[in-house]
Amino acid sequence: MGKATGFLDYKRADGPVRSEEERTADFFEFHGQLPLKARQEQAARCMDCGVPFCQGGVMIAGMASGCPLHNLVPEVNDLVYRGRMEAAYYRLSSTHSFPEFTSRVCPALCEAACTCGLHDAPVATKENEKAVIEYAYAHGLVQETLPTVRTGKKVAIVGSGPSGLAAAQLLNSRGHEVTVFERRDRPGGLLRYGIPNMKLEKAVIDRRVALMEQAGIKFVLNADVGRAIKADDLRERFDAVVLCCGASNPRDIKAPGREAEGILFAVDFLGSVTRQLLDNGFSKYPDELVKDKNVIVIGGGDTGNDCVGTCIRLGAGSVTQLEMMPEPPKERGRDNPWPEWPRILKTDYGQEEAIWRFGTDPRVYQTTVKEFLKDEAGKVCGAVLVSLEPKKDEKSGRMVMTAIEGSERTVPADLVLIAAGFLGSEGYVTESFGVETDARTNVKTAPGAHITSRENVYTAGDMHRGQSLVVWAIAEGRSAAREVDKDLMGYTNL
């Protein structure tokens, strides 16, 4: 695959990135692309390693190693190296529904498992995929399948996030009549309102949805299934229903003063910002939400980082990001060998921008909120923070983060964003359909299956496996589509 000595001849080079000063002045994407010749050199670094962990998508030590879509990574890289971009697109699209999404927001499980990355920088597979899909769009190659024959079967997809879109795409290509129900005003789910525009421009979603509509997929918006639309109505009207509603039940912070005004869930905050930007065509930014405020972001994951970057753009006076766990090491530990997912310190774009703006990393490790303070008007005005240390729980034997007595300190806070993850699916949907859930409120199925406890009702994505990555949601949607198709038709060729 690629050039035999490419990994020796070329060093990894990433696409250009706009400076912090420039990019924090707007909400548009800031990662550029390399010229085609330079991109071919990056693809040439693919090693012909013989055992491509990059496309394995297997679980090692409880973490995913390689792409769960099983993209044929070395083959795509080889075609990019040879300048055969059209062939690279068709090879990539044989396993992948939406490379335009993952090439922007995925943490690149493929690169973490790249053999080249064992002793050097991994192959830039994520940017190679972006180059392939953007070339395909620019040259009119991206088309959704318009079936010449319909099966007469009707399928309802509840939720238009990555898993719902992936399931709809495959089921429609098979000839089933697919209707996607979305409770919000625009399609995209997490992609639309959970990920900020500078990370994934919403026009990228719109162009794909437009193609899906042209291929016959129907989108019904402002359709809250489980409330405005009854589950039994869908089950009567459709031959199969696929629940792809996400793990949209946010984890709260149980601390005194939580009722104070100005304490928001991160997903609600990010969604509100995106909605206002879209509604006014990016002509005005909702600065009033954050301008000159002292912001505390609770949570050190991707969503927390997105909150930091968003607050920088909206003119925050200060941003502090709290993380309960200890600071990760800068290099792999002996207990975290390749090709496991590397548990190392990563500084994402939001943190980079905070460092540029304020001069210090916003992250404070081993810390949480003990109490929220509010003023006479009931608005949050501060927070009492407490330091944590790992201690072994005598009953379970597990290490738990425990408050250090006497470590309390008070900091100002005019806005608090809770980005502490999600607990699972929302109860009103699962109760409406009467499907069984597990201890984490994810919809329960047999291992490796998507059929729920209710006949002809399936599930996929975060609603099924819990909070996860976009690439896993797409893989789940594709897998569910194959199962639905087989049950409806007696066999599947998806």
Q: What percent of the chain has pLDDT over 90?
A: 93
Answer for the pair 89, 19: CB distance below 8 angstroms, yes or no: no
**Type of residue at 322:** L
Q: How far apart are CA 423 and CA 426, in angstroms?
A: 9
**Type of residue at 43:** A
Sign for the pseudo-dihedral over CA of 472, 473, 475, 479 = positive
Other C-beta atoms lying within 10 Å of the C-beta of residue 86:
14
H or E element, residue 276: helix 266-279
At 263 the three-state DSSP class reads: strand
- Mean pLDDT, the chain, rounded, equals 96
> Residue 1 has what pLDDT?
62
At 156 the three-state DSSP class reads: strand
Q: pLDDT band at residue 424, thresholds of 50, 70 and 90?
A: confident
Q: How far apart are CA 151 and CA 174, in angstroms?
A: 8
Q: For 31-35, 91-95, 340-344, which range has the lowest pLDDT when averaged over its residues?
A: 340-344
Other C-beta atoms lying within 10 Å of the C-beta of residue 255:
16
Say whether pLDDT at 415 is over 90.
yes
Q: pLDDT band at residue 145, thresholds of 50, 70 and 90?
A: very high
The string of pLDDT tens digits covering residues 435-468 is 999 999 999 999 999 999 999 999 999 999 999 9
> Residue 61 has what pLDDT?
83
Structure tokens at 337: 């060998």
The DSSP call for residue 463 is: H
> Residue 60 has what pLDDT?
87
The string of pLDDT tens digits covering residues 298-322 is 999 999 999 999 999 999 999 999 9
> Residue 110 has what pLDDT?
97
Say whether pLDDT at 268 is over 90.
yes
Secondary structure (DSSP) of 148-190: SS--S-EEEEE--SHHHHHHHHHHHHHT-EEEEE-SSSSS-TH
The string of pLDDT tens digits covering residues 113-132 is 999 999 999 999 999 999 99
Structure tokens at 52: 């491509």
> Residue 401 has what pLDDT?
94
Beginning with the edge strand found earlier in the chain, give each strand of the sheet holding 415-418 in spatial order. 263-265, 415-418, 294-298, 318-323, 363-365
Q: Domains (ranges, CATH) in the chain? A: 6-138 (1.10.1060.10), 154-248+423-489 (3.50.50.60), 263-418 (3.50.50.60)
Sign for the pseudo-dihedral over CA of 36, 41, 42, 48 = positive
- For the segment 188-216, the average pLDDT, to the nearest whole number, is 98
